[in-house]
Amino acid sequence: MAGKQKPKEENLFEELIKLRDMHRKRVENGVVVVKGKDRPLEKNRLGLMRWYLHPSLTNTVIRTLITFVQEIPPGSRTGRLHFQGGQVLYIWEGKGHTILDGVRYDWKQGDAMNLPLRRDGVTVQHFNDDPDQRVRLVASEVNLVDQFGVDRGTRFEVLEEAP
């Protein structure tokens, strides 16, 4: 039988044990306290973000969440994003509003906002209504990227970039 190779025999149970051991090692040696001073403030198409938990940060003890702080300069706005939703935001500093699927929601420091998880996703953009003070939003969501890919069952599109 020239040209034909016997399929490699796999032992998927043993592969599961290897994955378990890798997970245990990551948890044992992983970062428990993610320090803001150690995370860069990133300028990207959505604006200014400091990532604490992200699918590409593999050294933390958990990978089940995506968490970041987003800063909005005085009088400015974030980019406009379409994604699956399912995100919770805490308004750490400032005041402003969010346009969620065409509806305006006003908020201020100390408020929390829940972006619904929708089958067809949500479109969202945040605005800083103060001409003198920055806004800081703390955002967290379930890390669906590892389960469903970046589109997370809907589509993930930047519809408008931040200034």
pLDDT at 145: 82
CA distance 1 to 87: 56
The string of pLDDT tens digits covering residues 44-53 is 999 999 999 9
pLDDT at 30: 93
Q: Tell me which of 50-54, 92-96, 147-151, 157-161 is least confident.
A: 147-151
Who wins on pLDDT, 151 or 38?
38
pLDDT value at 1 more than 60: no
Q: Exposed, middle or buried: residue 36 (CB in 10 Å: 0-12, 13-18, 19+)?
A: exposed
Query: What percent of the chain is modeled with pLDDT above 90?
Result: 71
For 26, the 3-state DSSP assignment is helix
pLDDT at 63: 87
pLDDT at 27: 86
Who wins on pLDDT, 17 or 124?
124
CATH code: domain 41-160 is: 2.60.120.10
pLDDT, mean over the chain: 92
The string of pLDDT tens digits covering residues 56-81 is 998 999 889 999 999 999 999 999 99
The string of pLDDT tens digits covering residues 91-141 is 999 999 999 999 999 999 999 999 999 989 999 999 999 999 999 999 999
pLDDT at 79: 97
List the domain boundaries for the chain: 41-160
Q: Exposed, middle or buried: residue 30 (CB in 10 Å: 0-12, 13-18, 19+)?
A: middle
pLDDT at 80: 98
Q: Please count the other Cβ atoms lying within 10 Å of the Cβ belonging to residue 149.
A: 10
